[in-house]
Amino acid sequence: MKRFRCGDVVPGCTARFEGSEDEILAQVGAHATRDHGLTEVPPELVQAVRAAMQPA
């Protein structure tokens, strides 16, 4: 299990996610398109999210 705080990548965002890496990436993808206005999740963001994940 991992956890991820969106605020580590997007300053000011309070969203938090928990689960496996793949689950978190799926949740972050939905969150980024819904709440951050992205039309797609670029590879750089996936890498940033993976790097910012912490053990839960």
| Site residues (vs Zn ion, CB under 5 A) | 6, 10, 13, 15
CB of 31 to Zn ion, least distance (A): 5
Complex with Zn ion: residue 10 or 48, whichever CB lies closer: 10
Which lies closer to Zn ion via its Cβ, residue 1 or residue 38? 38
Shorter beta-carbon distance to Zn ion: residue 15 or 48: 15
Going by C-alpha positions, the residue among 18, 22, 23, 20 that lies closest to residue 3 is 18
